Structure 1
Amino acid sequence: MTFDDPFRCFVPYPDAHVKNAATGPLTGLTLAVKDLFDVKGYPTGAGSPIVLAQSGIKTKTAPMVKTLLDAGARFVGKTHTDELAFSLNGKNAHFGSPINPAAPERITGGSSSGSMAAVAGRLADIAVGSDTGGSVRAPASYGGLFGIRPTHGRLSLKRAWPLAESLDTPGWFARDGETFARVALVVLGKDRVELPELPRLLLAEDLFAQAVPEAETILRNVVQRTIPALGQPEGVKVARDLDALYWAFRWIQGREAWIADGAMIDRFGPPLGPGVAERFAFSKAVGDADYAKGETVRKSIRARLAKQLGSDGVLILPTVPDIAPLVSAAEPELEDFRNRALRLLCLSGLTGFPQITVPVAQREGAPLGLSLIGPKGSDKSLVAFAVKFERAARIRIA
């Protein structure tokens, strides 16, 4: 890189010129890109030495990235990702781990670890990430950023390294609502479902109960602060069985991850990092029956949530159970937190509905996000509401 990288968020590739439009709606904004997405003039390493060794220099740029460049954003580098994007922790055994600028003693979260760190550390104004099981939403919460997992299939994943085809989405990070919304206007196009200015709000009681008590209290107080401006939410139970959702997600993700990367792993036998090795071993063992059970659960929860939201509803839920775990936490502790986080993060993945995490709170000096899920195809109006929600959450009631 041609500038200091105090948070170790950028992959140290030799600089190559990446063309952007001289003027456009994103002029003046700098752009970082997760190293899953192809950028002309750079390799794509996917956080894996084997993938990097086979990559070569790419001759075309991923459409998601090109759209931002064509709108005037200026590329400043490719960012680190967890190995093969199969983690939520932000640690990479091969290339090191970015530092969380908002809470340096705590993990960045992953797998869009470097993208989060670049934006939170003010080394980029916006950053592209990907989200399969929470890889934009969790880091955004840990770093005090806006982050989005769009409606599944709404944005292109062409020329991006896959993890689980039916769950993968691109996404992006921004520090403030205005910048976050500028990107939405460029990439999202017209909503299929347009939320009203003041949507019908639903509070996911069963999902709030998944947060640690201290975080739950803080986030419920945030919601209370928004009521004068946005209205009283209705308490609802989202899922009949959260464990069933968790296992459905893991079976689907695991089976598809092995389809994406299994042949390479079997052929080369690469040393996989802690946690990643165990997840791929699990993935290899997922059979047809488990995958079919996962699909049945996915169909059921998609229909249930669609009915609850209708065309005018927004669900409020914790993004993750708590602030980011400590960097010093042992691997079993990190894995336990990851599994608890998946019980919250899997809902948007299984349904394919858009979810935005909004920076609204802190605990012990570390950021804590709150999430909004809207109907399928409501992404642009959900972004507008998320910006309004964040402003309302800032208003303190005497």
Structure 2
Amino acid sequence: MPVDASASSAAHCFVPYPAPAVTAISSGPLSGLRFAVKDIFDVAGYPTGCGNPHMLALSGIKTASAPSVTALAQAGATFVGKTYTDELAFSMNGKNAHFGTPRNGGAPGRIPGGSSSGSASAVSNGLADVALGTDTGGSVRAPASHCGLIGLRPTHARVSLKGCMDLAQSFDTCGWFARDIDSFARVGEVLLRDDTCLLPDGAPAMPQVLVAADVLALLEPRVQDVFMQTLERLSGLIGTPLPVKTATPSFDSLYWAFRHIQGYEAWQNHGDTITRHGLQLGPGVAERFAWSSKITPQQMEEHSNVRQRFKEDFLRLLGDDRVIVLPSMPDIAPLLSESEEVLENYRNQAVRMLCLAGLSGCPQISLPLMTLDGAPFGFSLIGPQGSDQALIRLSRKFIDELA
């Protein structure tokens, strides 16, 4: 089914490239699904704009598609277009200074979240059934929570990122969105290899469920309340979760470790292009790159050591038969009218939660199980490395329990 032109224009999620010329395969496991692609993945016959006019001008037309794009097309899904992204994927708000803001289909007066904003917008507005995004610091999990979608940050390096722009390669992952668990799981069968961790995901055994108590302590009482109410509704399935501390040595240490490693890698990848071509970057993105340009190799090494120590502790906490549950974000999506200062503060608060999966390399799935003030709010599960398929199956049980 083609994308409705008027609906697409209202949602402002598709980059206005020529109409897709990719021929769909008539049969396959994804037959009948329409898919969109974040504009940092290469798609043959199109440029890769990366959310910046200079990058678009430098791109040229690509002659080959990224393997993840090819996999969906060869499985029978119909490509319907490339979607807007935050500049160089280095933001979490979805507001692009050059190309505008895609509409949040789950809460139209609020930001969609970034950097996979266009992909989340396309799915939440019903213009695609599934869409590819990337998640470095939260760029799938944040839009999924804000727009009322299912979104996965896979185990690091589990899904190919060949043919995709690097931001910070030790954190970058290829994820995707869907409105329903059936479509989401179908894509997972195509993109994910067999699990390497045999996490129990239902009868006759369930994983032990842990609650990130220290994450909850960071959040407003109203957010804690809706999360605890959701846990109570799930008690027949999961029993009484065990409260645990997840952030070692502290959230501040993990926040700065993530920021320094991400920033260092981002500047190594893009600093030369930014300075040589004089890229004009929007608010927030410009400041983050300027800060990143000053990170030293010594700082990178120091914060990498923090990361390694935390990773060892976190993987030991999860073992191979536990999952951690927590809200996906600090709150519902901020209003579109909020200032850059408010949005940056919200982003910094979010990083403290989102960096748990990023620094550990573990998969995290955000599920649209909660609402607050009438807006969508994501409920997350983090599993051991290599448990992605089991995490999706477990998510189905959570969704069914609350249906």
- TM-score higher than 0.5 here? yes
CA–CA distance in 2 between the matches of 1:176 and 1:301? 34
Letter in 1 for 2:220: V
Deviation (angstroms), 1:230? 2.3
Q: What is the distance in 1 between the residues matched to 2:330 and 2:4?
A: 38
Q: Say which of 376, 379, 387 aligns to 2:388.
A: 379
| Structure 1 position 2, deviation (Å) | 6.9
2:307 counterpart of 1:303: no
The answer to whether residue 81 in structure 2 is matched with residue 72 in structure 1 is: no
C-alpha displacement at 1:227, in angstroms?
1.0
Between 384-393 and 364-373, the greater mean CA deviation after superposition: 384-393
Shift of 1:338: 0.3
- Write out per-residue CA displacement over residues 256-282 of structure 1, whole angstroms, 9 at most, x where no aligned residue: 000111000110112110000000011
Q: Is 1:235 matched with 2:237?
A: no
Kindly indicate whether residue 221 of structure 2 is the aligned counterpart of residue 213 of structure 1.
Answer: yes
| Contact 1:252–1:294 (Cα < 8 Å) also in 2 | yes
1:263 equivalent to 2:235? Answer no
Deviation at 1:305, TM superposition (A): 1.0
Q: Which residue of 1 aligns with 2:401?
A: 392
Counterpart of 1:319 in structure 2: which amino acid? Answer: S
1:184–1:16 CA distance, 2 compared to 1 (3 A): closer
Higher mean C-alpha displacement, 383-392 vs 1-10 = 1-10
CA deviation string 1:28-60 (max 9, x = no partner): 000000000011111100001111001111110
Q: Distance in 2 between matches of 1:84 and 1:222?
A: 36
1:73-112 map, 5 Å: 73-112=77-116
- 1:126 — aligned with what? 130
Whole-angstrom distance in 1 between the partners of 2:175 and 2:71:
13
8 Å CA contact retained: 2:20, 2:80: no
Question: Are the aligned partners of 1:211 and 1:320 in contact in 2 as well (CA < 8 Å)?
Answer: no
Q: Which residue of 2 aligns with 1:316?
A: 325
Whole-angstrom CA distance in 2 between matches of 1:392 and 1:354? 22
- Cα pair 1:16 1:42 within 8 Å, conserved: no
- Give the AA of the match of 1:270: L
| 1:199 aligned to which of 189, 193, 207 | 207
Give the one of 158, 162, 187 matched to 1:183: 187
Aligned counterparts of 1:150 and 1:50: Cα–Cα separation in 2: 30
The alignment status of 1:3 with 2:11, answered yes or no, reads: no
1:21 positional shift:
1.9
After superposition, residues 240-259 of structure 1 pair within 5 angstroms as: 240=248, 241-259=250-268
Measured against aligned partners, the alpha-carbon deviations of 1:236-294 in whole angstroms (never above 9, x if no partner) come to: 01113011000000000000000111000110112110000000011101112221121
The answer (yes or no) to whether the contact 2:123–2:131 under 8 Å persists in 1 is yes
Which residue is 1:286 aligned to? 295
**Matched AA of 2:5:** F
SS of the aligned residue for 1:160 comes to coil
Show CA shifts across 1:107-152 (max 9, x none).
Answer: 0000000000000000000000000000000000000000000000
Partner AA of 2:241 in structure 1: P
Question: What is the alpha-carbon distance in structure 2 between the residues aligned to residue 114 and residue 125 of structure 1?
Answer: 13
Q: Distance in 1 between matches of 2:398 and 2:245?
A: 22
- Which of 174, 177, 187 is the aligned partner of 1:173? 177
Q: Distance in 2 between matches of 1:393 and 1:375?
A: 24
Q: Is 1:26–1:72's contact at 8 Å kept on the other side of the alignment?
A: yes
Give, in angstroms, the shift of residue 20 of structure 1.
2.9
**Matched-pair identity in %:** 53
TM-score by length of 1: 0.97
Q: Check the 8 A contact 2:20/2:79 in 1, yes or no.
A: no
How far apart, in 2, do the equivalents of 1:76 and 1:220 lie?
39
In 2, Cα distance between the equivalents of 1:377 and 1:251?
26
Corresponding residue to 2:355 among 346, 349, 369: 346
Aligned equivalents of 1:2, 1:323: Cα separation in 2: 29
Q: CA RMSD in A?
A: 1.0
Gaps of 5+ in 1: none
Is the Cα contact below 8 Å between 1:191 and 1:380 reproduced in 2? yes
Matched, 1:116 2:108: no
In 1, are the aligned partners of 2:67 and 2:160 still within 8 Å (CA)? yes
* Local SS of the residue matching 2:111: coil
**Is residue 19 of structure 1 aligned with residue 23 of structure 2?**
yes
Inter-partner Cα distance in structure 1 for 2:228 and 2:56:
44
Alignment of 1:53-64 (within 5 A): 53-64=57-68
Distance in structure 1 (CA, Å) of the matches to 2:223 and 2:259: 25
C-alpha offsets along residues 205-245 of structure 1, whole Å, 9 cap, x if unaligned? 00112222211110111011111122221110111301100
What SS does the aligned partner of 2:110 have? coil
Q: Is the alpha carbon distance of 1:319 and 1:2 closer, same or farther for their aligned partners in structure 2, counting shifts above 3 Å?
A: closer
- Count of residues paired in the alignment: 394
